[in-house]
């Protein structure tokens, strides 16, 4: 198939940036979306032009490195699918495709489609852990954990930290990301001791990083490639209230 791409080009954080159009021809339906961009980039380099910068690593939907808004949707048209797992069979000959970076105050653009997501790391550093030193642990089977709790915890822990939730939210809120971490840890006995301080400091740090607040649009849940439920946000709010009172 032949495609016309409109890609956001921006040389650095201070540059204004704009959409530029490119044609890519003879795209196979078996290619992944990123492989299609690879083909474009190889052509650009051969012409002496700078290739489109985009983040990626595992190309298996697990590292959370890739992220781009494709035709207005974070990670593109398929639900529960990262950009790296999207294949060209989701498109057809003659399609025009718009490709843009995550847009959020807390995620400044580094170059083209690459943004700086270090705010996520800083929020985790403020409490997204269990305070246990290496060597402190008792036997792994000493505390039985019901399968239901372990499963809920895993549902939340499946977050890959890609930032699609922020990109999808009209307020650029990081609520789903933060709630997933709180939900992962609070479902387990090991995470309960610090539940209150964790909720308090992670929520405050999320605000301090410049993420917006949640006004229940649920766009985050729809955009999340791991299908993390917005119910965790309600739980986070309860945990936060508990920590305040």
Give yes or no for residue 56 binding ligand FES (CB under 6 A). yes
Alpha-carbon Rg for the chain in angstroms:
20
Q: What contacts 144, CB < 8 A, 6 or more positions away?
A: none
Give yes or no for residue 116 binding another protein (CB under 8 A). yes
**Cα 154 from Cα 168, distance rounded (Å):** 23
Give yes or no for residue 231 binding another protein (CB under 8 A). no
Binding mask 172-211 for another protein (x = CB under 8 A): ------------xx-xx-xx--------------------
Residue among 46, 93, 94, 216 that touches another protein (CB under 8 A): 46
What would the DSSP string read from start to end of 214-230? Answer: --S--HHHHH-TT---T
Would you give the DSSP letter of residue 3? E
**Cα 73 from Cα 83, distance rounded (Å):** 10
What the block records as the tokens of 219 is 């766009």
Residue among 2, 4, 79, 121 that touches another protein (CB under 8 A): 121
Give yes or no for residue 25 binding another protein (CB under 8 A). no
* Alpha-carbon separation of residue 22 from 19, 25, 175, 180 (angstroms): 10, 10, 36, 38
**In this complex, which beta carbon is closest to another protein, that of residue 39 or of residue 217?**
39
Give yes or no for residue 126 binding another protein (CB under 8 A). yes
Residue among 7, 24, 64, 203 that touches ligand FES (CB under 6 A): 64
Site for ligand FES in 156-195 (CB under 6 A): 160
């Amino acid at each position: 198939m032949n495609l016309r791409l409109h890609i956001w080009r921006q040389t650095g954080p201070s540059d204004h940036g704009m959409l530029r159009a490119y044609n890519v021809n003879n795209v196979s339906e078996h290619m992944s979306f990123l492989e299609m961009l690879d083909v474009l980039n190889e052509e650009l380099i051969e012409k002496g032009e700078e290739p489109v910068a985009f983040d990626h690593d595992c190309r298996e939907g697990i590292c959370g490195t890739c992220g781009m808004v494709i035709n207005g949707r974070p990670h593109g048209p398929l639900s529960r699918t990262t950009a790296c797992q999207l294949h060209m069979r989701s498109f057809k000959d003659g399609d025009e495709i718009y490709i843009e970076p995550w847009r959020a105050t807390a995620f400044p653009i580094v170059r083209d489609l690459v943004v700086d997501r270090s705010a996520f790391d800083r929020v985790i550093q403020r409490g997204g852990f269990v305070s246990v030193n290496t060597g402190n642990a008792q036997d792994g089977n000493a505390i039985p954990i019901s399968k239901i709790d372990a499963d809920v915890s895993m549902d939340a822990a499946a977050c890959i930290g890609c930032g699609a939730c922020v990109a999808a939210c009209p307020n650029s809120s990081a609520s789903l990301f933060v709630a997933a971490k709180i939900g992962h840890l609070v479902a387990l006995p090991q995470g309960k001791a610090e539940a209150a301080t964790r909720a308090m400091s992670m929520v405050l740090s999320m605000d301090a990083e410049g993420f917006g607040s949640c006004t229940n649009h649920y766009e985050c849940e729809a955009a999340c490639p791991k299908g993390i439920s917005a119910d965790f946000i309600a739980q986070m709010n309860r945990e936060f209230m508990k920590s305040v009172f």
